[in-house]
């Protein structure tokens, strides 16, 4: 085909100086021969790995499993669109730092996403030291202005949800939260408490739980609380999975969700747990975690393209959507008792 490697490279990479005719010929040939530049060689030559790393310590995975994948899927689409690969490392919690060090020293990725920031988060310090660009899914307390992040307004979402319940007359509201050493859960709790405080109420520790958001967690706590001395009339729940458990627990107590007991849950808009339709099953605060993934990826790619840009962030509000699981507090005399 009588063309130098140089020209072929330029043609395939869309350099402007190549003549249209040459480009056409090259493209045609490449197509015919099934040729595409070896990505390792290109990466070595350019010094960019064209990959983004996601380090998943087992502990995060255990609890955030379905939410995490939805985020990944969103991010993955953005990467594909921009010619980036996604590298996933599943590691023991003890090896998380190592994983980041390796990514940096072996140049395995051009940037990483931090998942599930904790209240005492430290990963960002390491990444800064390693000079590895990153975006946080969530926020790192105290480092908001010096890091790029994408987060939903957890505090406000739970404050609004609590206010909705208060407006319906509920005052005994239970909070089934995620693990509160995680930033998102911590903020949700604050929103809950702020709303109560706004009405001059103070939270009852007997009605507050913090744990992995499994289905049995919802069920067992709902049953235990409803059978207690001064049961709640409403539940505020941190995930659909647990909310389903709460609904089951309510049923086990012979009560009816949305009538005897209200539920509001946060809904990450996971595809296998649809909560939509004309009137969704659960009243919820909804925020698409998949969309968050797309946006986080965009932020990170922009950072990589322009390393000198200032940190950028995206703060999203959840929608508050009325479903079938909320209603006015039952008047005391009608109030069903298990």
Partner DNA sequence: TTGAAAGCGCTACCAC
Partner DNA sequence: GTGGTAGCGCTTTCAA
Q: What is the 3-state secondary structure (H, E, C) of 219-252?
A: HHHHHHHHCCCCCCCEEEECCHHHHHHHHHHHHH
Residue of 13, 18, 120 whose CA lies nearest to 3: 18
Any contact of residue 3 with DNA (CB under 7 A)? yes
Q: How many residues bind a copy of itself (CB under 8 A)?
A: 58
Among 3, 23, 25, 66, binds a copy of itself (CB under 8 A): 66
Supply the minimum distance, in Å, between the C-beta of residue 141 and a copy of itself: 26
Task: Select the span of 14-22, 69-77, 119-127, 204-212 touching DNA (CB under 7 A).
Answer: 14-22
Among 86, 127, 261, 269, binds a copy of itself (CB under 8 A): 86
Task: Select the span of 19-27, 65-73, 263-271, 326-334 touching DNA (CB under 7 A).
Answer: 19-27
Residues 6+ apart with CB under 8 A from 255: 226, 261, 336, 338
Any contact of residue 258 with a copy of itself (CB under 8 A)? no
Fill in the DSSP letter of residue 96. H
Any contact of residue 73 with a copy of itself (CB under 8 A)? yes
Task: Select the span of 38-46, 119-127, 202-210, 316-324 touching a copy of itself (CB under 8 A).
Answer: 38-46
Structure tokens at 298: 């965009």
Among 18, 56, 173, 185, binds a copy of itself (CB under 8 A): 56
- Return d(Cα 117, Cα 106) in angstroms, integer: 25
Beta bridge partner(s), residue 90: 56
Collapse the DSSP code of 284 into the 3-class scheme (helix H, G, I; strand E, B; otherwise coil) and give the result. strand
Q: Which does 13 bind (CB under 5 to 8 A by kind): DNA, a copy of itself, none?
A: DNA
Among 165, 166, 175, 213, binds a copy of itself (CB under 8 A): 213
Pairing mode of beta strands 148-152, 313-316: parallel
Among 8, 18, 72, 196, binds a copy of itself (CB under 8 A): 72
Interface positions, 102-131, toward a copy of itself (CB under 8 A): 102, 105-108
Q: Are 136 and 145 in contact (CB under 8 A)?
A: no
- Return d(Cα 137, Cα 126) in angstroms, integer: 17
For residues 181, 186, 192 and 198, what is the CA-based torsion angle, rounded to 10 degrees? 130
Collapse the DSSP code of 335 into the 3-class scheme (helix H, G, I; strand E, B; otherwise coil) and give the result. coil
Q: Which does 230 bind (CB under 5 to 8 A by kind): DNA, a copy of itself, none?
A: none
Task: Select the span of 2-10, 54-62, 198-206, 315-323 touching DNA (CB under 7 A).
Answer: 2-10
Residue number, 164 or 297, with CB nearest to a copy of itself: 297
Strand locations in the chain (E): 51-57, 85-91, 111-115, 134-137, 148-152, 173-177, 208-210, 234-237, 262-267, 283-286, 313-316, 319-321
User: Which residues are at the interface with DNA (CB under 7 A)?
Assistant: 2-7, 9-10, 12-13, 17-19, 21-22, 35, 37-38, 41-42, 44-47
User: Which residues are at the interface with a copy of itself (CB under 8 A)?
Assistant: 34-41, 43-44, 49, 51, 56, 58, 61-63, 65-66, 68-70, 72-73, 76-77, 79-80, 85-91, 101-102, 105-108, 212-216, 241, 244, 247-248, 251, 270-274, 277, 281
């Amino acid at each position: 085909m009588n063309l130098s490697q140089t020209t072929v490279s330029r043609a395939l990479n869309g350099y402007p100086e190549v003549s249209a005719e040459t480009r056409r010929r090259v493209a045609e040939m490449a197509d015919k021969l099934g040729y595409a530049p070896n990505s390792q060689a290109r990466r070595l030559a350019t010094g960019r790995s064209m990959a983004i790393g996601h380090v998943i310590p087992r502990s995060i995975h255990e609890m955030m499993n379905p939410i995490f994948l939805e985020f990944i899927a969103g991010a993955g689409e953005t990467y594909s669109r921009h010619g980036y690969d996604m590298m996933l490392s599943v590691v023991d919690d003890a090896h998380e730092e190592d994983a980041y060090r390796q990514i940096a020293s072996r140049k395995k990725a051009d940037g990483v996403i931090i998942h599930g920031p904790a209240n005492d988060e430290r990963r960002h310090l390491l990444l800064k030291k390693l000079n590895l660009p990153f975006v946080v899914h969530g926020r790192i307390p105290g480092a908001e202005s010096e890091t790029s992040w994408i987060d939903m307004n957890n505090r406000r979402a739970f404050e609004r949800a609590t206010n909705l319940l208060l407006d319906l007359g509920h005052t005994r509201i239970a909070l089934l939260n995620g693990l509160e050493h995680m930033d998102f859960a911590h903020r949700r709790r604050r929103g809950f408490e702020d709303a109560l405080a706004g009405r001059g109420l103070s939270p009852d520790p007997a009605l507050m739980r913090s744990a992995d958001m499994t289905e049995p967690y919802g069920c067992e706590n709902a049953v235990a609380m409803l059978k207690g001395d001064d049961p709640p009339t409403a539940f505020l729940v941190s995930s659909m999975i647990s909310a389903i458990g709460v609904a089951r627990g309510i049923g086990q107590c012979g009560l009816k969700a949305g009538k005897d007991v209200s539920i509001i849950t946060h809904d990450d808009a996971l595809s296998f747990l649809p909560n939509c339709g004309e009137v969704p099953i659960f009243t919820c605060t909804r925020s698409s975690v998949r969309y968050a993934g797309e946006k986080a990826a965009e932020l990170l790619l922009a950072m990589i393209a322009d390393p000198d840009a200032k940190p950028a962030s995206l703060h999203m509000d959840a929608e508050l959507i009325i479903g079938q699981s909320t209603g006015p507090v039952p008047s005391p005399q009608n109030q069903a008792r298990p």
